[in-house]
Chains A and B, each alone.
Chain A
Amino acid sequence: MKSLKKINGNTLLLLITIALFVVMYIAGCVVYSTKGFTHLQTFLNILINNAGLLCVTCGMTCVMLTGGIDISVGSLIAMDCMFIAVGIEKWNMNPILLMVLVLVIGAVFGMVQGFCVGYLKIQPFIVTMAGMFFGRGMTAVICTEQVSVSSSELFVKIAQTKIELPFGAYTNNKGVLQVPYVRIPVVIALVVLIIVFLMLKYTKFGRSLYAVGGSEQSAVMMGLDVAKTKLKAYVLSSVLCSIGGICFCLNTMSGSVQQATGLEMDAISSAVIGGTLLTGGVGNVIGSFFGVLINGTISTLVKTNGKLLSSWSNIAVAALLCFFIILQSVFAKIKEKSK
């Protein structure tokens, strides 16, 4: 009974998310057992394909905790990828230097947005929407055609490194031993996830994010510098997004204007599905992690089916998002009534 009381509305949302993922994955295993859905590698592929998204979602969660939103992430990723691709192919720059530059660009980008949101008190949505169009336009300014990366040996090597897992090996139907592997972006993303989780839980900055999102007025009265906290949140989001952009670029090995369109939607829906409240103050990155996994599972299911149009995965994610938004608002109403 005591443990039941501990499960309030917010943890319930997280539990629903985890249950949903497990059910969805098991359903996939049952329906597509002949198409290799049961292998460990399928799961790892979801991680590989969504490593960038995971980084972005961690940043998005931090911004959403303050009650804001950042929809510029998709274009920022496109800009990062294009910058890296053009930098390697046309300007012959060192990939490592480029990656550092991308992080700096992300930080500056986030600082401008955070300044507008925190200090000028403009609605986050408007600011980041301008950022979204700026990023997409800037991508086209850098280069309008698709650029694929192949000339830098170092970059290709990083992108193609397979980190093999010591367990879960199996022989496929041709009798070849398959060792499950992950790629470097997955490691980066998981490290980011753990760092952000610890930061949110144990650092002063992490706790102040919750405080600002929970009630801005109380945060001010507590003596927190709300504007500065918001600024930092947006910088964090854009930097994490740039890390995501690097992961994304390592995965696709190309840059194009249309890259990562609608990624902001995936990130927001992952965070919301993971139990982060849109009003701020509630949520954590573990939920977001499962949100990303659900997102990845849906698109993998659609792809495995082969007959469905790819827009179905968009619709399914939007429907899920809608479901969770309604669930959240119903919980909020119940809470208000019980007061």
Chain B
Amino acid sequence: MTNIKKLISKPLFLPIFCMILVMAVNIIFDAINGNFALNFFTISVRNGILYGRLIDVLNRGSEIAILAIGMTLVVSCSAGTDISVGSVMSLAASFCCMLLAGFGVSSTSSYNVPLFVGVIAGILLAGVCGAFNGALVAFLNVQPMVATLILFSAARAIGLLLCNNLIVYVRVDSFGVFGGHLGILPTPIIIAAVCILVATVLLKKTALGLYVQSVGINRKASRIAGVRSERIIFICYIICGLCAGIAGIIASSRITSADSNNIGLNFELDAILAVALGGNSLGGGKFRLAGSIIGAYTIQAITTTLYALGVSTEQAPVYKAIIVIIIVAIQAPPVKAFFARRQAKKAALKGGVA
């Protein structure tokens, strides 16, 4: 009994538990349908590429994982969420493709500017968007969600303007690499791994991680202690923007085009869900990057499972919304207090009997 309690109180319990639950659903589903029960875990090599549902989850989940890095920092330091990430992804993709193809061109088979210029410009523009959000939140004290609401609506519209209301196709093989394969592995997995590595080093080896947490726990106290709260928040939003940019380039490269209306649609919910699922409080303060990342892949696993169960793309949000509310409700202080009270009552009863 005590062992179970210890297990539940572990910080990474929630995301890992959810992941196991999803896998169990997959196994049961496969078994019912008469397929090989461990279909979910089989990995094979076809046409020189790793193939399998697990790989697919890792591959498709890359964008969410990258977004989750930035979102974790933003949630931690400002106790709010950046809801513009999906739109900023779309903007970064549109800007990159617009530069590569030239303005007003809807399909190109040769680059207008070198590839790396386009990609870096796209990511930088996303960084600028992050800086805009950060400036509003950090220096003007606007609530994070409202500040990011501006770009939530505007970024996608600006992306459409940049693309002249067209879907810009970049039909060059080298552009498809970011969403395709590098050797045997899908590239998005590699990019996500690199981003996670960089973020971990940045947070563990420098003081940034500590500063972010201290600002999140108490902004005023950390300022008095000598941490520049405003600047830390500003930096977090820029990092979040850059992450959104990288994710946008991957998403765009997958379809070798910039579809402003659809790239990054609903990704903000997934990213926030990943953070919440990772056991991080949406009220800010302490954070666990590992939790968010496991959360991100769990969400992708849920999505993949939903699709495998025959739920359409448009209907999937219903289930995700229900999951969000349940997770957040469990974390809510009054609910926690309720369970704590019940536990105390039980303990008191036990004590009385003994």
Instruction: Give residues in A with beta carbon < 8 Å to B.
Output: 69, 71, 116, 119-123, 125-127, 129-134, 136-141, 144, 257, 262, 265, 268, 278-279, 309, 311-312, 314-315, 317-319, 321-322, 325-326, 329-330, 332-333
Main secondary structure of the interface of A (DSSP, over half): helix
Q: Knowing A120-B332, A314-B157 are in contact, say whether A326-B321 is a contact too (CB < 8 A).
A: no
Q: Is the CB of B328 within 8 A of A126?
A: yes
Residues on B with C-beta less than 8 A from A69 are: 145-146
Q: Is the CB of A129 within 8 A of B83?
A: yes
Q: Is the CB of A265 within 8 A of B153?
A: yes
Interface check B93, CB cutoff 8 A: no
Q: Which listed residue, A126, A133, A138, A332, touches B81 by the CB 8 Å rule?
A: A126
Residues on B with C-beta less than 8 A from A265 are: 149, 152-153
Q: How far is the CA of A125 from the CA of B315 in the complex (A)?
A: 21
Main secondary structure of the interface of B (DSSP, over half): helix
In chain B between 7 and 45, which residues have their CB closer than 8 angstroms to a CB of chain A? none
Q: How far is the CA of A69 from the CA of B161 in the complex (A)?
A: 29
Q: How far is the CA of A257 from the CA of B164 in the complex (A)?
A: 25
Q: How far is the CA of A138 from the CA of B146 in the complex (A)?
A: 25
Q: Knowing A314-B154, A315-B161 are in contact, say whether A126-B282 is a contact too (CB < 8 A).
A: yes
In chain B between 282 and 325, which residues have their CB closer than 8 angstroms to a CB of chain A? 282-283, 312, 314-322, 324-325
Q: Closest Cβ of chain A: how far from B292's Cβ, in Å?
A: 16
Q: Is the CB of A137 within 8 A of B315?
A: yes
Q: Closest Cβ of chain A: how far from B293's Cβ, in Å?
A: 20
Q: How far is the CA of A227 from the CA of B322 in the complex (A)?
A: 22
Q: Is the CB of A121 within 8 A of B332?
A: yes
Residues on B with C-beta less than 8 A from A121 are: 332-334
- Chain B residues touching A, range: 35 or more
Residues on A with C-beta less than 8 A from B319 are: 137
Residues on B with C-beta less than 8 A from A309 are: 160-161, 164-165
**CB nearest to A123 among chain B residues:** B282
Q: Is the CB of A329 within 8 A of B154?
A: no
Q: Which listed residue, A123, A279, A311, A322, touches B161 by the CB 8 Å rule?
A: A311
Question: Most chain-A CB neighbours within 10 Å: which of B153, B160, B333?
Answer: B153
Q: Is the CB of B142 within 8 A of A130?
A: no
Residues on B with C-beta less than 8 A from A119 are: 334
Q: Is the CB of A278 within 8 A of B324?
A: no
Instruction: Give residues in B with beta carbon < 8 Å to A.
Output: 80-81, 83, 136, 140-143, 145-147, 149-154, 156-158, 160-161, 164-165, 266, 269, 272, 276, 282-283, 312, 314-322, 324-325, 328-329, 332-335
Residues on A with C-beta less than 8 A from B151 are: 318
Q: How far is the CA of A268 from the CA of B83 in the complex (A)?
A: 15
| Beyond A126-B272, A138-B318, 6 additional pairs, beta carbon < 8 A | A125-B80, A126-B328, A265-B152, A278-B146, A311-B158, A317-B153
Q: How far is the CA of A319 from the CA of B158 in the complex (A)?
A: 12
Q: Knowing A134-B318, A137-B318, A329-B141 are in contact, say whether A122-B328 is a contact too (CB < 8 A).
A: yes
Q: How far is the CA of A198 from the CA of B136 in the complex (A)?
A: 35
Q: Is the CB of A311 within 8 A of B160?
A: yes
Q: Closest Cβ of chain B: how far from A118's Cβ, in Å?
A: 10
Kindly list the 9 A-B residue pairs having the minimum CB-CB distance in the complex, ordered from nearest.
A137-B318, A140-B314, A318-B154, A137-B317, A311-B157, A134-B321, A314-B157, A133-B317, A133-B321
Residues on A with C-beta less than 8 A from B333 are: 121
Q: How far is the CA of A333 from the CA of B335 in the complex (A)?
A: 36
Q: List 23 A-B contacts (CB under 8 A).
A: A116-B325, A120-B332, A121-B332, A123-B283, A125-B80, A125-B81, A126-B272, A126-B328, A129-B83, A130-B321, A132-B321, A133-B324, A141-B318, A262-B153, A265-B153, A309-B165, A311-B161, A314-B157, A315-B154, A315-B157, A321-B150, A325-B146, A333-B141
Q: Closest Cβ of chain B: how far from A259's Cβ, in Å?
A: 13
Residues on A with C-beta less than 8 A from B145 are: 69, 125
Residues on A with C-beta less than 8 A from B156 are: 311, 314
Q: Is the CB of B154 within 8 A of A131?
A: no
Q: How far is the CA of A141 from the CA of B334 in the complex (A)?
A: 33
Q: Closest Cβ of chain B: how far from A170's Cβ, in Å?
A: 36
Residues on B with C-beta less than 8 A from A262 are: 153
Q: How far is the CA of A319 from the CA of B157 in the complex (A)?
A: 12
Residues on A with C-beta less than 8 A from B157 are: 311-312, 314-315, 318
